[in-house]
Amino acid sequence: MEPREFYIEDRLERYRTNAPCNLGESGIRNLNYGELLRRLEILPEEWNDISLEDSPNRGGAKLREEIAKLYPGIGPEEVLITTGTGEALYILFRLLCEPGSSVSYFYPAFQALYEIPKLCGADLHPVSVLSSFLERKTSFLSSNLIGELFREGKDLAIINHPHNPTGLSLDVNAAEAIQRESIRHSGWILFDEHYRFLDYHNELSWTGAGVNSKSVATGSITKCFGVMGLRIGWMIGPASLIEKARSFKDYLTHTVSPISEFLTLKILQKRKELSERILDDLVCNIQYFESIWKELPGLKDFVSPGGGVVSFIPLKKGINSSEYADLLMNQCGVFVLPGRDFEAEGWIRIGFGETPERFREGIDRWKRLRW
Ligand SMILES: Cc1ncc(COP(=O)(O)O)c(C=O)c1O
């Protein structure tokens, strides 16, 4: 069995480098190398000392120690460094799913979260967040949806928070509901926390890692700090599972680049300073969009994201999302993703990760759309 094409990636590949205004991305605008070095205050001698030998298969010890500090009660032996979150997810699904496994996830979703379980023969149980999202006008997950997710995903329940593509996140009530449910749940729980560093409403920056003995989490710095090309991700889980995943990784990328590992360590050590500016710009773009979205043709509603970089926006009745995205790109040079690529027609996904200047330029162009 083959996976279907990865719908969003196809369109991102086509437009991410040549769109005059890219509001389709799910990451913070990428830095160039010089700017990253300046922000991290890296000295040339530190840089010159990096050895170009293979990194250890499980990831460098210092980096794993730094990552473990982000998760209460977790030690470095419970951390595996991977090439992006994508590799961590692939390995986990191959280890945790088998034909007939019941797997639940919040729909719509990042396609890898259900396409790879499907490839492993799992039975999928999508739990739609869309109507509750609009009815409740809040971007925090409700305990009803969380209950449904745990009931449906007997073997594996997947929680992606902050959520791509809706921007749904967890408040204290939702985190408590997950904790309650996880005590009763006998299957695995996977927390995809790819956007955890952009959880701007949740000061606790809650993580699901360690909620019970069968919980795993994935994380990354790439989208949150504007360094997508570093391709570093990780997984957190019980040491026995991490050991199996480490062995599986030998058949895939085997190790990550020592240059990316070095920069990731520096980013994590300076994450508070780096995040301040990133979050200020992000919140500025979201607030601007909140004030202006009614002037943009075709949009029906807007619920401000609870975390992460993106929001899923309903279109007025009868508007086809691909036609809308194509027209916006062709007429105005603004790139957004159609809901169709998330298998949810009638919506579009926009990203708030551009600089405030470029974001405003994108909105000015969008206002000129003749629909
Ligand atoms: C929710 C989610 N998980 C995982 C990934 C994959 O991350 P990476 O690009 O690090 O492989 C993405 C990428 O957009 C994502 O949105």
What torsion, rounded to 10 degrees, do the Cα atoms 34, 229, 313, 11 define? Answer: 120
140 bridge partner residues:
169
Do residue 210 and residue 343 come from a single domain?
A: no
d(CA 371, CA 361): 19
Q: Is 194 in the pocket of ligand 1 (CB under 6 A)?
A: yes
Residue 348: per-residue pLDDT:
98
CATH (domain of 356): 3.90.1150.10
Q: What is the pLDDT of residues 304-353, one digit of tens each?
A: 999 999 999 999 999 999 999 999 999 999 999 999 999 999 999 999 99
41 occurs within a structural domain = no
Do residue 76 and residue 189 come from a single domain?
A: yes
Do residue 325 and residue 361 come from a single domain?
A: yes
pTM, full prediction: 0.97
Q: Is 167 in the pocket of ligand 1 (CB under 6 A)?
A: no
Q: Which atom of ligand 1 is nearest to the CA of 220?
A: 10
Do residue 237 and residue 148 come from a single domain?
A: yes
Last residue of a domain, one of 270, 287, 304: 270
Do residue 323 and residue 304 come from a single domain?
A: yes
Q: Is 164 in the pocket of ligand 1 (CB under 6 A)?
A: yes
d(CA 209, CA 199): 16
Evaluate the omega torsion of the peptide bond into residue 165 and state whether it is cis, within 30 degrees of 0: yes
d(CA 303, CA 277): 23
CATH (domain of 223): 3.40.640.10
Check whether 263 has a pLDDT greater than 70. Answer: yes
Do residue 182 and residue 279 come from a single domain?
A: no
323 occurs within a structural domain = yes
Residue 201: per-residue pLDDT:
74
Q: What is the pLDDT of residues 116-134, one digit of tens each?
A: 999 999 999 999 999 887 8
| Beta carbons of 353 and 286 less than 8 angstroms apart | no
Cα–ligand 1 centroid distance for 166 (angstroms): 14
Residue 360: per-residue pLDDT:
98
Do residue 196 and residue 62 come from a single domain?
A: yes
Task: Write the burial class of residue 148 (CB in 10 Å: 0-12 exposed, 13-18 middle, 19+ buried).
Answer: middle
Do residue 158 and residue 239 come from a single domain?
A: yes
- Coil, strand or helix: which one is 215? strand
Do residue 118 and residue 220 come from a single domain?
A: yes
Q: Which atom of ligand 1 is nearest to the CA of 87?
A: 11
Do residue 277 and residue 262 come from a single domain?
A: no
Q: Which residue has its alpha carbon closest to ligand 1 atom 9? A: 84
Do residue 175 and residue 97 come from a single domain?
A: yes
Question: Domain tally for the chain?
Answer: 2
| Beta carbons of 106 and 149 less than 8 angstroms apart | yes
Task: Write the burial class of residue 368 (CB in 10 Å: 0-12 exposed, 13-18 middle, 19+ buried).
Answer: exposed
Domain span at residue 22 reads 7-33+272-367
Do residue 102 and residue 150 come from a single domain?
A: yes
Check whether 195 has a pLDDT greater than 60. Answer: yes
State the DSSP H helix or E strand holding residue 91, giving kind and residue range, or none if neither: helix 84-96
Q: Is 111 in the pocket of ligand 1 (CB under 6 A)?
A: no
Percent of the chain with pLDDT over 90: 89
